[in-house]
Amino acid sequence: MAKSKPNSKPTMHDVAAAAGVSQATVSLVLNSAGGSRFSDETRRKVKDAVAQLGYRTNAHAKFLRDGLAGMVGFIGDSVATSPFAGAIIEGAQERAWEDGLLLLTMNTGGDKDLEAASLDAMLSYNVAGVVYGSMYHRLLEVPKALAGVPSVVLNSQDRAGHLPSVAPDEVNGGYSATRHLLDAGHTRVGMINIELLESGLPAAVGRYEGYTAALAEAGLDVDPALVRFGRGGEDDGYKYAMELMTAPEQPTAIFCANDRTAWGAYQAVADLRLSIPDDVSIVGFDNQAIVAPHLRPGLTTFELPFIAMGRRAVDLILQGAEPDGRVELMECPLIERKSVTHPKEMP
């Protein structure tokens, strides 16, 4: 009745002994269609023994035996820890769990050695695949060892163009943001963005492209007097919003390429004793949880679809993710708050 080695966890043999059947019977009852070929009596005995001993299957034995994967690897520079993109891991995990898989995570802080070593460790667990996540959208070089296993670049793109990537649709985001202002009746829509060439950021480039596309569609030209490029901090937001709002021809709306610059813009507008949205409408980007909802008025902005992206990445992995270089762009939903209204009538 009692376990042979009382200190160690019970095995199937212990359960079998307790139930008075063979180990194979236990396995079949537990796995194979509920052991329909066995008598009710036997099934009951097995289940009782399992419950009584607190038996739990040994995953190592299981996955060794049938070569399947029980986990998905997640390697990130600092995603997990980042206040921006933490949710990315949530989506990945959710999706993995739907297939009964756990997430094996590692953030490397960009350390290539650590990256290689931990990737190695993950591969030795025979993971179903590896998600290579990044804190912000960029073009990155992936470790070579990823070649041997299904893997997906998340919130970034493989510069070499081999691995499939899942990233936010920046162009469409910039388009939608601008369009949102246009639709509210604005015709003088400014933009405070991040340097295009210098930064090379897909977010900056893409959102600007969307901005120009939306203006063009509305029959408007980009007015250089209404556009500023900086480094994306709230100090830039302050400075450029101040410039724009004190220029001879002020915009009636500003699209800030991220919530931080929007925050800076809020401060500038406040210092000018102007009102948002009555004097100027503002749209941000990123839906930064700690900032956007708490500004006054609440900032209308676009959300990076972290959860959806995480889900999709694992999705691709579970489908076998060939290195086909595809780039899946995910839509950034509008989060409407109070910083946008129609323009005042011009006097």
Partner DNA sequence: GCGTAGTGGTTATTCGTATTAGTTATTCGT
Partner DNA sequence: ACGAATAACTAATACGAATAACCACTACGC
User: By the criterion CB under 8 A, which residues form the site for a second copy?
Assistant: 8-9, 54, 56-61, 63-64, 67, 70-71, 78, 80-84, 86-87, 89-90, 93, 97, 100, 102-107, 114, 118, 120-126, 148, 233-234, 260, 263, 267, 270, 288-291, 294, 296
Helices 306-318 and 87-98 sit at what angle, rounded to 10 degrees?
Answer: 40
Give 93 or 212: the residue with its C-beta nearer to a second copy. Answer: 93
Give 58 or 319: the residue with its C-beta nearer to DNA. Answer: 58
Asked if the bond preceding 297 is cis, omega within 30° of 0, the reply is: yes
- In angstroms, how far is CA 190 from the centroid of its own chain? 29
Give 10 or 264: the residue with its C-beta nearer to DNA. Answer: 10
Q: Rounded to an integer, what distance in angstroms lies between the CA atom of residue 138 and that of residue 192?
A: 20
DSSP category for residue 146: G
Distance of closest approach, residue 125 Cβ to DNA, in angstroms:
12
Query: Out of DNA, a second copy, none, which partner does residue 87 contact, by CB within 5 to 8 A per kind?
Result: a second copy
Helix (H/G/I), strand (E/B), else coil: 19: helix
Distance of closest approach, residue 26 Cβ to DNA, in angstroms:
8
Give 57 or 325: the residue with its C-beta nearer to a second copy. Answer: 57
Distance of closest approach, residue 15 Cβ to a second copy, in angstroms:
14
- The one-letter code for the residue type at 183 is D
Query: Out of a second copy, DNA, none, which partner does residue 38 contact, by CB within 5 to 8 A per kind?
Result: DNA
Query: Out of DNA, a second copy, none, which partner does residue 12 contact, by CB within 5 to 8 A per kind?
Result: DNA
Give 114 or 220: the residue with its C-beta nearer to a second copy. Answer: 114
Cα–Cα distance list, 83 to 95, 124, 283, 292, 321 (Å): 21, 30, 21, 14, 28
Query: Out of a second copy, DNA, none, which partner does residue 231 contact, by CB within 5 to 8 A per kind?
Result: none
Return the biggest CA–CA distance within the chain: 93
84: phi then psi, degrees, rounded to nearest 5: -85, -55
Give 17 or 103: the residue with its C-beta nearer to a second copy. Answer: 103
Helix (H/G/I), strand (E/B), else coil: 261: helix
Q: Which of 180, 252, 169, 158 is nearest to 209 (CA)?
A: 169
> Applying CB under 7 A, which residues contact DNA?
8-9, 11-13, 20-25, 27-28, 30-32, 37-39, 41-42, 55, 57-58, 61-62, 64-67
